[in-house]
Amino acid sequence: MRSVILAIESSCDETSASVIVNGKVLNNIIATQSVHQKYGGVVPELASRAHQQNIVVVVDEALQSAGILKTDLSAIAFTRGPGLMGSLLVGVSFAKGLSLGLKIPLIEVNHMQAHVIAHFIADPKPNFPFLCLTVSGGHTQIVLVRDHLDMEVIGQTQDDAVGEAFDKAAKVMGLPYPGGPLIDKYAKDGNADAFRFPETVMPGLDFSFSGIKTAFLYFLRDEKRKNPSFVEDNLNDICASVQQHLVNMLITRLVQASEKTGIKDIAIAGGVSANSGLRKSLKETGNKRAWNVFIPAFEYCTDNAAMIAMAAYYKFIRGEFCGLDVVPLARMPF
């Protein structure tokens, strides 16, 4: 049976739509929101308003570029959560309206599961079971993936996400938002061993990043007392050092997870998986440990509808639909 699914992603500050036909993603249309830059972070109310402005245009472009009519659609998929409630509400409401108007099924998608499923958009694809480190501004998890829709979180942050740690470190250095990519940029020309930071040790496979955020804040405060231009004088080395520290925390837990489970197919996903330091460290560790490493294309790292479409396809072929009474969930169980 031919399946044509329109997928909508609106969990945070990216309005995105994608069309997938018989499991093949045809496009991945994304509208970004620059309004948040002057505030140093995403403003939920402004994000939801921007989604309202962008969603019709983005969906229309996705359908037109795919050569698909609304009447060709088999189902409408959407991000139910986790995410910002106002942002999610725009996408969920739009999807419900289309579903009702076209009399076709709805498919709800877990945003974090979709990040993992992004690995099945294009080759090479991991074999089951595999481990996926999902890292973003809101989440840091190690996921045991047994099947496309059978996943278990075996390790996660107990406080802040690693993406938030990157952005907050950038903010206290005076870098504009989003700061994580800027740290990555400056780190390429810095000495990663120039400065050392303490690490919070958690039990099992869990993470904690609140401690490094506080330690980094005090580190800069003390150094700037001695030299007011410390950040400007040492920007590349500071960025390289803090990036290496955060990446090492991630890789250490990933190694432990691989040893504990015996799994050697290892993947990363989420916005922070675009970080060049993490990608390089994962490849080097994979070579040493004979891992099969899977790193998504950059366009599928950040929030996007193609990953929602891919996850929805597997739900479609299993007949996993939801009703019009579905509501967005800011904290959606994995």
Encode pLDDT of 264-278 as tens digits: 999 999 999 999 999
Give the model's pLDDT for residue 111.
97
Structure tokens at 319: 């007949």
Mean pLDDT value across residues 26-36: 85
Q: What is the pLDDT of residues 198-229, one digit of tens each?
A: 888 898 999 999 999 999 999 999 999 999 99
- The answer on pLDDT for 36 being more than 70 is no
Scored b (16 or more CB within 10 A) or e, 154-184 reads bbbbebbbbbbbbbbbbbebebebbbbbbbb
Mean pLDDT value across residues 94-119: 98
Give the model's pLDDT for residue 177.
84
Dist CA 179 CA 167 (whole Å): 5
- The answer on pLDDT for 41 being more than 90 is no
Residue position matching structure tokens 């904690």 = 208
CATH architecture designation of domain 4-116+301-317 = 2-Layer Sandwich (3.30)
Structure tokens at 149: 């829709």
Dist CA 164 CA 210 (whole Å): 9
Length of the chain as a residue count? 334
Q: What's the whole-number average pLDDT of the chain?
A: 95
Give the model's pLDDT for residue 29.
98
Give the model's pLDDT for residue 283.
98
Structural domain spans, the chain: 4-116+301-317, 125-296
Dist CA 106 CA 218 (whole Å): 49
Dist CA 95 CA 76 (whole Å): 6
Query: Do 4-116+301-317 and 125-296 come out as alike in CATH topology?
Result: yes
Q: 125-296 belongs to which homologous superfamily?
A: ATPase, nucleotide binding domain (3.30.420.40)
Count CB atoms within 10 A of the CB of residue 18.
Answer: 29
Instruction: Assess contact for 8 and 59: CB atoms under 8 A.
Output: yes
Q: What is the pLDDT of residues 114-164, one digit of tens each?
A: 999 999 999 999 999 999 999 998 899 999 999 999 999 999 999 999 999
The model's confidence at residue 35, banded by pLDDT at 50, 70 and 90, is low
- The answer on pLDDT for 96 being more than 90 is yes
Question: Residues 6 or more apart from 303 whose CB is under 8 A from it?
Answer: 9, 11, 12, 13, 14, 16, 111, 271
- The answer on pLDDT for 333 being more than 90 is no
Strands 14-21 and 24-25 turn out to be antiparallel
Locate the DSSP E strands across the chain: 4-9, 14-21, 24-25, 29-32, 75-81, 106-110, 130-135, 140-147, 150-156, 265-269, 292-294
The model's confidence at residue 33, banded by pLDDT at 50, 70 and 90, is confident
Is the bond preceding residue 124 a cis peptide, omega within 30 degrees? yes
Mean pLDDT value across residues 5-9: 98
Scored b (16 or more CB within 10 A) or e, 108-120 reads bbbbbbbbbbbbb
